[in-house]
């Protein structure tokens, strides 16, 4: 096979990123926007020693899973990868993605529980981060295309509430009408970098934050007059002068209203600042946290340690069922929110520590604190091996691990296995539940219950 060859190809598998896979003369060929069961006319665009990348020129025979995409920028935007297949097919792919990670990366023979699907596959996000750019002298807001920083102009994303689209349109008009410069990462110049929106349930509160390469936003009062009638309850600026891919800087200024939003999860109120982590799919988050609580096996005597606690969402939904809650988070505004959230809910048995997870674990160990249950909800990169060792040395009865990346989850579970913690089993299945927090994208969340093996079993 060589570049520009065209050939018929049957799609027999799917990658973790959502690309179809077929085989031509024993060589794996990756084709985007295809589905298992498709037969396509493929055009080779890159040929390496062991694999090739191709473009589907036409669908010769469609898969039973195939459906019409309902998004005009689906083939260009870097967000969704599954708008061309049914949701049932997507869930099966994600279930298999998690199972494959445990087998191939963790070398763990496990049986997963069925993935928890979302009741809504559209308009479920409560957060948007839209980069700004210029095209033909006009402002554009949208999303980066696959593996690039080329901005696809799109304010009406089907994953986001209609209110977000209206605010984005208002922002785009505001930039043009007031001749405000837009950031250019190549020259590190220009003012407007991102439009960042966050909302509570049903958009009852909407925080609008403008990420800028400067200290102030010109004509901010005009922007407030545009977005307040659209439901905005606050307008703020986030200052990011660094030449970086990181969206948010460390400093946020409130210009009008309030920067925070207040939301409710499982009957618990939460105040969330722009810099604080908060799950983007509220309804699925309630399902996720219910599974975490089920796996935690809480009792009135439980000392619960919630690592990577953010604004305290996981731990505080369980605080009234345990003896003591300790939350750990490195982001200072999030810890401030967590303490405030404990007060909002009249929770008096919670302590929050602002520190790196590994440092906090060592601190608690030195204080002689022995949690019965530890919840880990790390970023995509997973846990450092040193942290896993420290957690194991604290000797909790169980660890409930929440992950947004099956690969790092499987890797970390394998490390826990060497340290005396095995994945719990009940009713013929392991306590591993994938949860689809991000319908139509390649991402999947997973909850795992790890239990301490008896000393006699650790060597087996």
The dihedral over CA atoms of 140, 146, 150, 151, expressed in degrees to the nearest 10, equals: 10
Residue 460: is its pLDDT beyond 60? no
CA–CA distance, 280 with 436 (Å, rounded to integer): 12
Residue 17: is its pLDDT beyond 50? yes
Total-model pTM: 0.91
Domain 103-118+265-457, what fold?
Rossmann fold (3.40.50)
Query: Which stretch of 73-77, 219-223, 439-443 has the lowest confidence by average pLDDT?
Result: 73-77
CA–CA distance, 60 with 8 (Å, rounded to integer): 8
Do the bridges between strand 432-435 and strand 429-430 make them parallel or antiparallel, or are there none, so unpaired?
unpaired
Position 455 confidence tier, pLDDT thresholds 50, 70, 90:
low
Which of 71, 203, 309, 404 is the catalytic position?
404
Per CATH, 6-66 and 127-262 having the same topology is answered yes
Residues 6+ apart with CB under 8 A from 157: 71, 79, 125, 128, 143, 164, 165
Nearest by Cα to 82 from 28, 135, 2, 16: 16
Sign of the Cα torsion 362, 364, 370, 371 reads: negative
Residue 458: is its pLDDT beyond 70? no
Spell out the domain ranges in the chain: 6-66, 103-118+265-457, 127-262
What 3-state DSSP class applies to 299? Answer: coil
Determine the pLDDT at residue 362: 85
Find out if CATH 2.40.50.1070 is the number for domain 127-262: yes
CA–CA distance, 377 with 379 (Å, rounded to integer): 7
The CATH superfamily holding the domain 6-66 is Nucleic acid-binding proteins (2.40.50.140)
Query: Which stretch of 68-82, 320-334, 341-355 has the lowest confidence by average pLDDT?
Result: 68-82
Residues 6+ apart with CB under 8 A from 143: 73, 77, 78, 79, 130, 131, 151, 152, 154, 157
Give the mean model confidence (pLDDT) for residues 216-232: 98
Position 457 confidence tier, pLDDT thresholds 50, 70, 90:
low
* Sheet of 39-47, strand order: 6-10, 39-47, 51-61, 27-31, 20-24, 13-14
Assess whether 404 carries a catalytic annotation.
yes
């Amino acid at each position: 096979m060589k570049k520009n060859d065209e050939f018929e190809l049957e799609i027999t598998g799917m990658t973790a990123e959502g690309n179809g896979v077929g085989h031509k003369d024993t060589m794996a060929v990756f084709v985007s926007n295809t589905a298992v069961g498709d037969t396509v006319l493929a055009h080779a665009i890159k040929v390496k020693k062991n694999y090739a990348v191709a473009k589907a020129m036409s669908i010769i025979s469609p898969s039973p899973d195939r459906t019409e995409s309902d998004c005009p920028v689906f083939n260009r935007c870097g967000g969704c990868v599954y708008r061309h297949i049914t949701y049932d097919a997507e869930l099966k792919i994600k279930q298999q993605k998690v199972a494959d990670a445990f087998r191939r990366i963790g070398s763990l023979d496990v049986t997963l529980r069925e993935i928890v699907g979302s009741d809504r596959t559209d308009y479920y996000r409560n957060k948007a981060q839209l980069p700004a750019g210029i095209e033909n002298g006009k402002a554009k807001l949208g999303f980066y295309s696959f593996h690039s920083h080329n901005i696809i102009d799109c304010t009406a994303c089907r994953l986001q509430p209609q209110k977000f689209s209206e605010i984005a349109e208002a922002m785009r008009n505001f930039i043009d009408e007031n001749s405000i410069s837009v950031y250019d990462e190549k020259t590190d110049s220009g003012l407007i970098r991102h439009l960042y929106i966050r909302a509570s349930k049903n958009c009852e509160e909407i925080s609008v934050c403008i990420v800028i390469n400067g200290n102030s936003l010109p004509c901010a009062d005009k922007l407030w007059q545009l977005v307040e009638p659209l439901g905005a309850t606050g307008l703020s600026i986030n200052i990011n002068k660094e030449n970086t891919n990181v969206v948010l800087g460390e400093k946020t200024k409130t210009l009008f209203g309030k920067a925070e939003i207040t939301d409710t999860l499982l009957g618990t109120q939460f105040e969330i600042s722009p810099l604080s982590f908060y799950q983007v799919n509220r309804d699925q988050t309630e399902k996720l946290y219910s599974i975490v609580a089920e796996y935690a096996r809480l009792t009135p005597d439980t000392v619960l340690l919630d690592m990577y606690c953010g604004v305290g969402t996981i731990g505080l939904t369980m605080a009234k069922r345990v003896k003591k809650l300790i939350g750990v988070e490195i982001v200072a505004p999030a810890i401030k929110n967590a303490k405030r959230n404990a007060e909002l809910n009249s929770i008096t048995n919670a302590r929050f520590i602002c520190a790196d997870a590994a440092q906090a674990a060592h601190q608690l160990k030195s204080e002689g604190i022995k949690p019965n249950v530890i919840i880990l909800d790390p970023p995509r990169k997973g846990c450092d091996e040193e942290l896993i060792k420290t957690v194991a040395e604290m000797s909790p009865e169980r660890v409930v691990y929440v992950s947004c990346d099956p690969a790092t989850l499987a890797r970390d579970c394998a490390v826990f296995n060497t340290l005396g913690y095995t994945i719990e089993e009940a009713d013929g299945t392991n306590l591993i539940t994938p949860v689809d927090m991000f319908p139509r994208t390649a991402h999947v969340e997973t909850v795992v219950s790890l239990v301490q093996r008896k000393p006699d079993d650790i060597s087996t």
